[in-house]
Amino acid sequence: MVVDHTTVLIVGAGPAGLVLGNLLRAGGIGTVIVERASREQVQTRARAGFLGPNSTRVLTEHGLGAGLLHKGHSHGVCAFRGEDGEFELDYGELGTGEVHTVYPQQDLVTDLIAEYLDRGGDIRFGVTVTDVDPRTATIRCRDERGESVVSGRFLAGCDGGNGVTRAALAARRYPQDHGISWLALLVEAPQSMTAVTYGIHDDGFAGHMARSPEVTRYYLQVPPGGDAEDWTDERIWSALDTRLRTDEFGQLKQGPILERRIVRLRSEVADPIQHDRMFLVGDAAGLISPSAAKGANLAIMEAEVLASALISALHDDERPLAAYSRTCLPRIWRAQEFSRWMIDLLHGQDDDFHRGLRRARLDSLRDSRAHQNFFAEQYVGI
């Protein structure tokens, strides 16, 4: 059996693990990243694409933003469509005056892998982790070459909400199933509106989000427990037309549906997000629903905090590392709170009382400058 050792062992090659690995390599720290999927799978996995200003700052300040600056585009307007019509919020002119940068996650991951390898990083794809020991920062794993053991002075769990590192951490868990499912769609067609658009309808929520000039993300609320394949192209476009009220606001630009999958809106927070020599980052630390585009942004924030703390610890100051949970958890909970606020805004129970509440929320968001400023600040911030 092969036994290997490094300074910081990272499990998972999503945004959390790759940003962490790059920041540590820039600090001269030895790292190994292990990832269950293949490089091709990781680089083509379509996920979130809205990066907040803090994420953009972290990436650009640390030399990780070349692709983002070249191909990403700023976005600062969202729209809400309901039974009383449509209104837009130019959130870039509200709150703190900040906007999102739209850059598909698979493109960001591709950039981060290339930069990590250029910095001399060691990344191993197709590795299945079979056992994790937080006390010794050691994993047992296997790949096509057989079984091996890899250990580090520290271990970072960046392998998602269902990963093995999260299961190995001794922590309290605070799970929440929001009882809502979305059909997530990627469509090969230009965006149909300039703004991110939220359709609020008695049939259920529908969303329109730009991803690139050629690809648009749509979401459809669907009954929990369904199968994505139950939704034919004809059924999907009919539901989108109804919920986005295209008879009133104009037709959607249609194209081939490249991806359709069911997303269950769930949240969970671990507390603490560190134990012994292991630290959780990204969805492993706090799984969050996609309702407010916070997942990748939380991952990048936590990766920056942990990288700085690990570098300090390796220079004999362990105080920032000891405070990792205390530093990150309040931000995770704030993001969870806004995500839940968005869920309540976009989805309503099917009775007159809750329809009235939903209408009141939208009226307040449309008419109250204080409410708009709150939304803008929370929408782009961590």
State how far the Cα of 368 lies from the Cα of 366, in Å rounded to an integer: 6
Whether residue 216 contacts residue 261, with contact meaning beta carbons closer than 8 Å, is answered with no
DSSP-based three-state secondary structure for 2: strand
In contact, 21 and 62? CB cutoff 8 Å:
no
The active-site residue out of 91, 116, 219, 379 is 379
Spot the catalytic one: 70, 223, 256, 315. Answer: 70
How many angstroms separate the Cα of 146 from the Cα of each of 49, 149, 364? 36, 10, 60
Of 198, 218, 219, 324, which one is the catalytic site residue?
Answer: 198
User: Amino acid identity, residue 318?
Assistant: E
Question: 327 is written with which tokens?
Answer: 């530093």
Distances from the Cα of 16 to the Cαs of 11, 159, 305, 345, in angstroms? 10, 9, 11, 29
70 is catalytic: yes
Tokens, residue 30: 């030895």
Count of alpha carbons within 13 angstroms of residue 205, beta-carbon side? 24
Contact 344/317 with Cβ under 8 angstroms? no
Choice among 75, 100, 208, 294 that is catalytic = 294
- 253 has catalytic annotation: no
The CA angle 75-79-82, to the nearest 5 degrees, is 165
Burial class (CB in 10 A: 0-12, 13-18, 19+), 270: buried
Instruction: Assess whether 15 carries a catalytic annotation.
Output: no
* Contact (Cβ atoms closer than 8 angstroms) between residue 61 and residue 97: no
Residue of 134, 208, 290, 324 marked catalytic: 290
Query: Tokens 């997942």 belong to which residue?
Result: 295
Task: Please report, as a single letter, which amino acid is at residue 231.
Answer: W
Q: How far is CA 230 from CA 124, 174, 306, in A?
A: 37, 32, 43
290 is annotated as an active-site residue: yes
Give catalytic residue positions: 70, 198, 290, 294, 379
